[in-house]
Amino acid sequence: MKILAFETSCDETGVAVVENGRRVLSNLLFSQIKLHAPHGGVVPEIAARNHLVKIIPLLDQALKKAQVTKKDINAIATVPGPGLISSLIVGLETAKALSFAWQKPLLAVNHLEGHFYSNWLEKNRKDQPRFPVVALIVSGGHTTLIYAKDHLKFKIIGSTRDDAAGEAFDKGARLLDLPYPGGPNLSKLAKQGNPMAFNFPRPMKTSPDLDFSFSGLKTDLLRHTQTTKLTPKTKKDLAASYQEAIIDSLLIKAKKAVAQYQPFSFLLSGGVSANYLLRQQIRFQIPKIIPDIKIFLPNLKFCTDNAAMIAAAGYQHYRQKNFATLNLKADPNLQLS
Ligand code: KG4
Ligand code: ZN
């Protein structure tokens, strides 16, 4: 069962071929980081234009690398949302055109489902998440806690009230004058700093729900940058203390969700799951709540946006015969249902 998938929801053009929802035959990505870096963030028009330029050459390469032709493809997966509308449309319309021309079923994958299923990619068969699961998806656009009883049976149990965790990293990086992409650069600098040097709150620490809030942290960082002389050392300490506050806030609610829902497995995913401190702390802290819980962290290459994860999620839709029609429309605010 081979699925061809497209991912163009933001600034990465991704095309992949994945077998049986797990075995990655090809996973090609054109990262537009260099094109957006001079602007300090993603420029939607530049993103869409470059998706258009890259998508067909990447399709050709992805098929070639996977050593397949259109005859071998069973279905085509695409992302109607959430994401940037002009970017989403490129992947979506390409997938629809191919579905029509090649007469292959079309699969609609919510971008967050893709992140969720990144934990199924390229692991040995025994080692796959077992339901029920609690999943924490932390990306540039989302900070979401999910409880899933079974495949594609998602219940959102917590989310951010304002900024996403990745956004907090990116905005923090900008305040510290770090280049785009902010998250990885702030995290790199934080490695050399003292996380106890500056005092940051843990927003919503004691709230009874499973929600998050990060916009206050950013304001605190701004205040610290205005009241502290920014030397290379204080920048490192600010980065370390700020990062610690973000990760701690994520951990507090992740642990609470695990205690409340008693899952068999805990899954981390989304761009911020590439963060070394978050990965380390999840492994260390979650078993304090349920000692024999199975923890899954995506392989680093599947943390940030990629098309292989869309194929992995598409496979579950295919198994449930949940096919989309050619009327499928892009929806920048698509909710997980
Ligand atoms: O999942 P993703 O590629 O795109 C969205 O769906 O948003 O996530 C991108 C986000 C960005 O905010 C980026 O700064 C953050 O993930 N990120 C990181 C790290 N690597 C990527 N944040 C913290 N530490 C990292 N190592
Ligand atoms: Zn993403």
pLDDT in tens, 250-272: 999 999 999 999 999 999 999 99
Other C-beta atoms closer than 10 Å to the C-beta of 229 total 7
pLDDT tens across 28-80, in order? 999 999 999 899 889 999 999 999 999 999 999 999 999 999 999 999 999 99
Percent of residues in the chain assigned helix, strand, coil, to nearest 5: 45, 20, 35
Q: Give the E-state strand segments of the chain in sequence order.
A: 2-7, 12-19, 23-31, 75-78, 106-108, 133-138, 143-148, 154-159, 265-269, 294-296
| Least-confidence region, from 9-13, 39-43, 105-109, 174-178 | 39-43
Q: How confident is the model at residue 122 (pLDDT cuts 50, 70, 90)?
A: confident
| Least-confidence region, from 4-13, 120-129, 229-238, 286-295 | 120-129
Pairing of strands 154-159, 265-269: unpaired
Across 162-173, average pLDDT: 97
**Cα(5)–Cα(237) distance, rounded to whole angstroms?**
42
**Cα(23)–Cα(69) distance, rounded to whole angstroms?**
17
* CB of 180 shorter than 6 A to ligand 1: no
Across 147-175, average pLDDT: 97
Q: How confident is the model at residue 181 (pLDDT cuts 50, 70, 90)?
A: confident
Centre of ligand 2 to C-alpha 2, Å, is 22
Q: In angstroms, how far is the first alpha carbon of the chain from the final one?
A: 25
* CB of 50 shorter than 6 A to ligand 1: no
Q: Percent of the chain scored above 90 by pLDDT?
A: 96
Q: C-alpha distances in angstroms, 154 versus 134, 146, 236, 242?
A: 10, 6, 39, 31
Question: What pLDDT shows up at residue 111?
Answer: 98
Centre of ligand 2 to C-alpha 239, Å, is 23
**Cα(152)–Cα(7) distance, rounded to whole angstroms?**
19
| Least-confidence region, from 35-49, 186-200, 295-309 | 35-49
Atom of ligand 1 lying closest to residue 304 CA: 3
Say yes or no to pLDDT of 125 above 90.
Answer: no
Question: What pLDDT shows up at residue 40?
Answer: 85
Centre of ligand 1 to C-alpha 1, Å, is 30
Atom of ligand 1 lying closest to residue 165 CA: 12
Centre of ligand 1 to C-alpha 74, Å, is 31
* CB of 170 shorter than 6 A to ligand 1: yes
Mutate which of 272, 278, 334 to test ligand 1's pocket (most atoms within 8 Å of Cβ)? 272
Atom of ligand 1 lying closest to residue 142 CA: 7
Q: How confident is the model at residue 127 (pLDDT cuts 50, 70, 90)?
A: confident
Say yes or no to pLDDT of 175 above 80.
Answer: yes
* CB of 166 shorter than 6 A to ligand 1: yes
Centre of ligand 1 to C-alpha 79, Å, is 18
| Least-confidence region, from 2-6, 78-82, 102-106, 125-129 | 125-129
Q: Give the E-state strand segments of 233-316 in sequence order.
A: 265-269, 294-296
